[in-house]
Amino acid sequence: MQNYFASIANPILHNLNATIDLCRQASMPVIFTRHSHQNGHDHSMLAEWWFGDLIVDGTPDAQLIAGLHRNKLDLVVEKNTYSAFRNTDLEDKLVEMGIEEVIVTGVTTNLCCETNAREAFVRGFRVFFSTDGTATFDLELHEATLKNMAYGYRPGMGGLDFKALKKLQNSANELLHSAVVQESLVEDGEEKWLNEFCDSCLRMLEVCGISKDVVVLVKEHVQDVRFTLRRASIGEAGIQDKMAACDSYRKKLKKEILKCLKWFKAKTITNNPNMLMKEHKLMLVVDVLREVRLTSISIVESLLSLISTPWLDLDSKSKSSSSSSSWRRSLFPSKVVVVPWDDDDAMLLHSANKRLAGVQMAIEDLELELECMFRRLIHTRVLLLNILTAN
C-alpha cells in the first residue's frame, strides 16, 4: 500500500483499514510490507520485466500511503521483489510471535498478495485472503487470483476429517466404558485427573456449542441471500436496498465470527500442563479434546472465509458501462446503484443461486457433523462423571 499504487490502493483503503482495526481489537499483530530498490544490483528480474519502471527507495512513491491505520509499533518488512519472505526475517518474526494464520491484504492482488499467500501456505501458515481488501490494475486478474486462492490456499470445509474424529471419539468412549479402566482409575485415586478431564470437556462443549451457533447464523444468511437473489431474478422493486441490507449483516456477522475465533483460541484444553503427560492412561481423552478444539476452530475459520467470498461472478458481458461494471463487481455493492436487469443479469443471478444451493448443502452437512461431534463429547463427559460418582 504505497504511493506508487495509490490509484488502486485508495479505493480499498476503507476496507483495508476496517480489517486492520478488527485485527487490533482482537489483539492480532499488523505487519506492513514496503517494496523498493536501493540500486541497480537488487533489481533482479523485475527491472527486465517492467522495463526499468521500479520503485526507488527514498522517493515519495516508495512511502506507505498516509491514510493507513498504522502505529509506531507495527513491523514494516522491507522487500525488493514480490515475496515478503525472500531474503527477509518475516518468517522468523511470525514464528517468534506464535503466529499460525495470516490475513493477506493490499496490492497488487495477482502479484505481491498472491505470491505472499502462496509463500505463507507452503511455510505452514493458514491463509486468509481478503476479497475486498485487495486490488490490482485489471479486474479479471483480481478475480482469477481469488479463484486460485479459494481452490487451493484459503481454508475450506473439504480439509476436515470427520471420519477420523468420529473414530477417535468412539475409541475414547470405549476406553471409558471399559470396566478394567474404570476400576484402575478408582484404585489409583485419579479423582483429581477425572475432575480436570470433566472441566476440560465442559470447556470444549462450550467451544463446540458456539461453533454450532455460528453455523446456524451463516446458514440463515445464505438462505436470505438466496431468497434475495430469487426476488431479484423476477425484477422485484427495491432489490438493491435488500442486497445492501444483506451486505450490512454480512459485515456484522464477519466481525462476530472474528470475536468467536479470538475467544476459541483463548479457550485452552487445560490449565494444568501435567494433564498433557503422554504416559497417562487417559491421554486418548486429551487427544479427543485437542481435536475437537482444532476442528471447531477450522469450521469457524472456514465459515469466515466463506462469507468473505463474493457470490456473484464479475461482469462478463459489458465493461463499457461504468455503472454496470460497478454493480457487477460484487453481489453486495457498498454503494447502491440502480441498474436495469437484462438477460445477462438473469444468467448471473441463476449461476450465483446455483452455487449458493451447493454452499447451503455443504453447511447443512457441516451442521450435522458438528451436532454428532457435540453429542459424542457429551457422552465422554457423562462417562467421566459416572466414574467420578462411583469413586
Return the domain boundaries, the chain: 3-154, 159-390
Statement: the pTM of the whole predicted model exceeds 0.85 = no
CA distance 337 to 345: 14
Contacts by 8-12, CB closer than 8 A, 24 or more apart: 8/107, 8/108, 8/135, 8/136, 8/137, 9/65, 9/106, 9/107, 9/135, 10/65, 10/67, 11/135, 12/107, 12/132, 12/133, 12/134, 12/135
Q: Of residues 230 and 12, which shows the higher confidence score?
A: 12
pLDDT tens digit sequence for 95-112: 999 888 898 999 999 999
Q: Which CATH superfamily is domain 3-154 in?
A: Isochorismatase-like (3.40.50.850)
CA distance 174 to 380: 9
CA distance 329 to 91: 34
Sign of CA dihedral 300, 302, 304, 307: negative
What band does 31 get if pLDDT is binned at 50, 70 and 90? Answer: very high
In this prediction, residues 73-81 reach a mean pLDDT of 93
In this prediction, residues 3-25 reach a mean pLDDT of 87
pLDDT at position 217 is 92
- In percent, the amount of the chain with pLDDT more than 90 equals 27
SS3 274: helix
Range picked from 11-15, 147-151, 325-329 for highest mean pLDDT? 11-15
Average pLDDT, the chain: 79
In this prediction, residues 111-135 reach a mean pLDDT of 90
Q: What angle, rounded to 10 degrees, do the helices at 162-177 and 343-390 form? A: 10
pLDDT at position 327 is 36
pLDDT tens digit sequence for 357-368: 777 877 888 888
In this prediction, residues 224-235 reach a mean pLDDT of 82
